[in-house]
Amino acid sequence: MYILLRSLLISCALVLTVAAQQKDDRNCTDHPLFTRMPDSWIHSCTQKEFDSRQFIVGTDKKETIEGKLWRINYYPQASLKIKPSEAQILRNYENAVQKIGGTIVWKGKGKETFRLTKDGKDIWVEVTAEFTGKYGLTIVERAAMRQDIVADANAFLNDLRTTGHASVYGILFDTGKSELKPESNNALEEITKLMKMEPGLKLYVVGHTDNIGGLEYNMRLSQDRAEAVVQALVRERGVDATRVKSFGNGPYAPVATNETEEGRAKNRRVELVKQ
C-alpha cells in the first residue's frame, strides 16, 4: 500500500512538473539568427516591417537605425533551480555574434550592442539581461522605408493655392546623398503633371534637412537635393527650366521636433513654393 501511494505521489509530481513548463507566446518565434538560452521561453514579442530604434554606441552617444524590427522577451522556466546570470547571457550572445563575423559596439551593465552583416544586410542587435534570468533582444535589419503614400498633383495644387507651399515626401535619397532614388519617380511624375495643369505656374524647389550634422553640411546637402529634383524635372521630364529654381534651406524651417526620429523624418523633405 505504501509503495503504491508513493508511486502515485511521484507520478503526480511528474505531471505537475510537466504542466508547470511555460510555453512560448503562440504568436512568437525565435529570430532566425539566434537560438535561445536553455530552459527559457518567449514571454512576448513584437515585429514590425519598418520602425526605428536608438542603439547605444558609446558614452552618452546613440545611433538611430531604421528598418525591420524584432523585439523578443525571454523568461527562464519557473522550475529552473539555477537561473542564468547577466554575464552568462551576454557572453553567450557575444560569442554567437562574433562567430558569424559580428562585432561588439558597446558594453554596459546588463546591456550590450552588436553589429553584423548577414546576406549583405546591416543588422543591429541589443541584448538586455537581468539577474532573474530574464533577457530581451531588440534586432533591427537596416532598410529604407517603402513610401506607400504619395500626394498627387491636385493635392499639391490645393496646398499651393491655400498656403503657398506643398510638402513632397515621396522624393527619396540615401542618407547623406543627393542622388534621387528610383522610388521618387511617382512623386516626380505628379510634379510634372502639376506643371502641365498650370502652364503659368513657377516654383521654387526647396530642400530641407533635419539637424543631424553640421550646418554648412546640411545647407549644401539640401541645395544639392533640390537641384537634383530640378534637373530631373527639366532634363528627364521636359519642364521648362525657367519655371523651376532650386534652393537649399537646410535645417532652418523644421515642421516637427528634431528630438525624435519621427520628427526628423518629417523635416527631411522637399517643398514646392510658389514664386
Whether residue 7 lies inside any domain: the answer is: no
Whether residue 16 lies inside any domain: the answer is: no
Closest by alpha carbon to 247, among 205, 215, 216? 205
Residues 265 and 172 in one domain: yes
Over residues 181-194, the mean pLDDT reads 93
Q: What is the pLDDT of residue 183?
A: 87
DSSP per position, 7-55 = HHHHHHHHHHHHHT-----TT----TT----TTEEEEEEEEEEEEEEEE
Question: pTM above 0.85?
Answer: no
Summarize pLDDT for 233-243 with one digit per residue, the tens. Answer: 999 999 999 99
In terms of DSSP bridges, do strands 111-118 and 121-129 run parallel, antiparallel, or are they unpaired?
antiparallel
Residue 118 lies in domain: 23-142
Summarize pLDDT for 3-57 with one digit per residue, the tens. Answer: 434 444 444 444 444 446 899 999 999 999 999 999 999 999 999 998 989 999 9
Closest by alpha carbon to 208, among 162, 241, 166? 166
Whole-angstrom CA distances from 72 to 92, 128, 140, 149 are: 16, 11, 12, 30
Select from 108, 142, 176 the last residue of a domain.
142
Q: What percent of the chain has pLDDT over 90?
A: 76
DSSP 109: T
Summarize pLDDT for 81-126 with one digit per residue, the tens. Answer: 999 999 999 999 999 999 999 999 999 999 999 999 988 899 999 9
Whether residue 5 lies inside any domain: the answer is: no
Residues 62 and 169 in one domain: no
Whether residue 227 lies inside any domain: the answer is: yes
Residues 116 and 158 in one domain: no
Q: What is the pLDDT of residue 4?
A: 39
Residues 178 and 138 in one domain: no
Residues 112 and 158 in one domain: no
Residues 174 and 97 in one domain: no
Whether residue 10 lies inside any domain: the answer is: no
Select from 115, 142, 169 the last residue of a domain.
142
Residues 214 and 103 in one domain: no
As a dihedral over the C-alpha atoms of residue 243, residue 245, residue 251, residue 254, rounded to 10 degrees, the angle is -10
Q: What is the CATH number of the domain that holds 164?
A: 3.30.1330.60
Over residues 162-189, the mean pLDDT reads 91
Q: Please, which pLDDT band fits residue 148 given cuts at 50, 70 and 90?
A: low
DSSP H stretches of helix in the chain: 2-19, 86-99, 153-163, 185-197, 215-237, 261-267
CB 270, CB 205: distance < 8 Å:
yes
Largest CA distance in the chain: 104
The torsion angles phi and psi of 36, rounded to 5 degrees, stand at: -125, 170
Residues 266 and 214 in one domain: yes
CB 127, CB 90: distance < 8 Å:
yes
Residues 111 and 164 in one domain: no
Over residues 170-188, the mean pLDDT reads 90
**Number of domains, the chain:** 2
Whether residue 9 lies inside any domain: the answer is: no
Select from 142, 161, 190 the last residue of a domain.
142
